[in-house]
Amino acid sequence: MQDRDSYTSNYIRSAMGREMLDPETEHALAVAWRDERDEAALHRLIEAYARLAISMAGKFRRYGVAMEDLVQQGNLGLMRAAEKYDPDNGARFSTYARWWIKASMQDYVMRNWSLVRTGTNAAQKKLFFNLNRVQARVERAAEGNDASARHAICAEIARELMVPATQVETMLGRMAGPDLSLNAPQSDAGESREWVDLLEDEGPGTEETVLGTLDARARHAALDAAVGALPERERDIVRRRHLTEDPLTLTELGQRMGISKERVRQLEERALGRLRRNLEPSRPGARAGAPATR
């Protein structure tokens, strides 16, 4: 639990001593802000209920978040509440604002609990803020510490909180301990390896990478040789249709060559057929780059 600085302590003392608004004054201030965007009315409304943010911040300190940060988040929740509050719906602003203050603090705690996102939906948020309480009660009633008992505990927590058991198991793992740096040493020994050294590189190995590069070069050279052996018009069609980032259409090529679109298509099919035959390594007598006839 972190100590408060003097500024936060003074702010808390000041906020707790501010005026209490009666229902009529509260309603008038809320109407002035809603209808006239009266910032003075908004400021007075927020200041009067800053004590709500301070009171609720104390309930979240067990998560290791600084009090001043919690109070700030509570004030942000108050401002969101004031923006959305309808003074004519019959509810007091203090009642309405509690939900926004709590939601703002919960979101902040979850964002800062871990570098890994702890929760992204309502079920995970419910788990995060109720798991320890329910787990402690269920474990007191359970017998045994084996895997079956652990599974039964997860199932009971899931049933009580109405969330999937798989999410309970995941959240238990995430909340088991604080984040650790992968660059932290594995032991206190002077030459201890870092935890990152235990991570397996899932990428291709050096041998696989080199062989892949050589194979790609060989295939590229064979293709260049096969294309180069085509008759001039077919070679031009293949390059402009298949070996460029901005390929031409059959119509555009026909206009350039002074032939019909259909004739270009025929020459393209013949050229691609020759390429396939020349690039087939298993065809008897095939030889990449062999001269082609018109």
- CB contact at 8 A, 275 and 267: no
Could you report the per-residue pLDDT of 9-45, keeping only the tens digit for each? Answer: 888 888 888 888 999 999 999 999 999 999 999 999 9
Considering only residues 103 and 203, tell me which one the structure prediction assigns the higher pLDDT: 103
pLDDT of residue 285: 45
How far apart, in Å, are the Cα atoms of 170 and each of 108, 166, 206, 215, 245?
20, 6, 36, 44, 47
194 φ/ψ angles, rounded to the nearest 5 degrees = -90, 160
Please state, rounded to an integer, the average pLDDT across all residues of the chain.
77
Banded model confidence at residue 2, pLDDT cuts 50, 70, 90: very low
Listed in sequence order, the residues at least 6 apart from 195 whose beta carbon sits closer than 8 Å to its beta carbon are: 180, 181, 182, 183, 184, 185, 186
Residues 6+ apart with CB under 8 A from 236: 257
pLDDT band at residue 77 using 50, 70 and 90 as cut-offs: very high
pLDDT class of 130 with cuts at 50, 70, 90:
low
Better pLDDT: 106 or 260: 260
277 sits in which H/E element: helix 261-279
Largest interatomic CA distance in the chain: 100
Residue for token digits 């206009």? Answer: 255
Per-residue pLDDT at 1 exceeds 60:
no
* Averaged pLDDT, 75-79: 92
1, two tokens = 């639990």
pTM: 0.45
The average pLDDT across 124-152 equals 64
pLDDT digits (tens, 9 = 90+) for 158-212: 777 777 777 777 766 665 555 455 556 666 666 666 655 655 556 666 667 777 7
pLDDT on residue 58: 85
pLDDT at 32: 95
Percent of the chain residues past pLDDT 70, beyond the cut:
67
- State the pLDDT at residue 178: 52
CB of 250 closer than 8 Å to CB of 261 = yes
Sign of CA dihedral 79, 84, 87, 92: negative
Please report the pLDDT score of residue 165 as a whole number.
Answer: 74
Is pLDDT above 60 for 254? yes
Give the dihedral of Cα atoms 114, 119, 120, 124; nearest 10 deg: -170
Give SS3 for 285. coil
Separation CA 60–CA 70 (nearest Å): 8
Give the confidence band of 283 by pLDDT, cuts at 50, 70, 90. very low
pLDDT, position 78: 93
How sure is the predictor about 60, in pLDDT bands with cuts at 50, 70 and 90? confident
